Amino acid sequence: MNETLHARIRADVEARIVSGQWPPGHRIPYEHELTALYGCSRMTVSKALGELGRAGLIERRRKAGSFVRRPLAQSAVLEIHDVAAEVASLGAAYGYKLLSRVRRRATARDRERIAVAQGAPLLALACRHDADGRPFCLENRLIHLEAAPEAAQASFVDQPPGAWLIARIPWTAAEHRIRATSADVAADALDLPPSAPCLVIERRTFQGDRAVTAVTLTYPGAAHELIARFSPGPLTTR
């Protein structure tokens, strides 16, 4: 249990907050008081309080002091895995099949899915990921060929486009939308009745302001779960 000093102070203050000893709105002792209390420098106290501030547990106001905050909208960290890695982690054999590959200019419908200019060059892919020979996930992807020109040369017959892109095209931001639907048009490809529930993840990836790719992953049935954990702060060392 070799704790650093600032981590100890942070944990100590956090304990008083979560135990209710310092309720929301309570003013935390000033830095110089904590300095005396823990017998350390102000930098160290400041580091601990700064972490608590970034973690959202307290609010720091100049001149006024630091105050215990009421937890607001909670945010959780959602881990989104690569499909192949996900299948492997289930101990199943991974399979991949390219269903279609079309190069075209962006239509109005495409532009609802990916933010590109009208007529921008796109590669539209459909493929299926299998686990132990059974359909695991259906993937529909658009790749913006201005952002990833090398994709035009790739066949994607042997390698899923997700892994290919991650290895080659840098990106800076992504947005995920998660919803439930019924299998409908995906029913055939997934070997399901059309009314079966599916979990759909849409991911849009950007390079600065430019859209790189948009992908729709359809997972059949109630079997697939996404797991998100609340992160108490940005400080969990890896």
Partner DNA sequence: GACCGCAATATGTCTATACATTAAAGTGGA
Partner DNA sequence: TCCACTTTAATGTATAGACATATTGCGGTC
Minimum distance from CB of 35 to a copy of itself (Å)? 19
Which 42-61 residues touch DNA, going by CB under 7 A? 42-44, 46-47, 49-50, 53, 60-61
Is 41 among the residues that bind a copy of itself (CB under 8 A)? no
Judged by CB under 7 A, which of 1, 19, 20, 63 binds DNA?
63
Dihedral sign for Cα atoms in the order 184, 133, 85, 157: negative
Torsion, CA 114, CA 115, CA 118, CA 124, rounded to 10: -20
CA distance 92 to 130: 9
Name 164's Cβ contacts closer than 8 Å, sequence gap at least 6.
Answer: 151, 154, 156
Whichever of 30 and 164 has its CB closer to DNA, that residue is 30
Judged by CB under 8 A, which of 175, 185, 188, 191 binds a copy of itself?
175
108 interacts with, out of DNA, a copy of itself, none, CB within 5 to 8 A per kind = none
The backbone torsions φ and ψ at residue 228, rounded to the nearest 5 degrees and listed phi first, read: -125, 140
Run of H or E including 46:
helix 42-54
- Which segment (30-38, 107-115, 160-168, 200-208) binds DNA by CB under 7 A? 30-38
CA distance 165 to 143: 9
Residue pair 83/129 in contact by the 8 Å Cβ criterion: yes
CA distance 216 to 198: 12
Whichever of 66 and 205 has its CB closer to DNA, that residue is 66
56 interacts with, out of DNA, a copy of itself, none, CB within 5 to 8 A per kind = a copy of itself
Whichever of 18 and 117 has its CB closer to a copy of itself, that residue is 18
CA distance 234 to 51: 8
First to last CA, the chain: 17
Residue type, 76: A
CA distance 135 to 132: 8
Minimum distance from CB of 170 to DNA (Å)? 22
17 interacts with, out of a copy of itself, DNA, none, CB within 5 to 8 A per kind = a copy of itself
229 interacts with, out of DNA, a copy of itself, none, CB within 5 to 8 A per kind = a copy of itself
Q: Residues interacting with DNA, by CB under 7 A? A: 4-7, 30-32, 39-44, 46-47, 49-50, 53, 60-66
Q: Residues interacting with a copy of itself, by CB under 8 A? A: 17-20, 53-54, 56, 70-71, 73-82, 85, 166-167, 170-182, 195-200, 207-208, 219, 221-222, 224-238
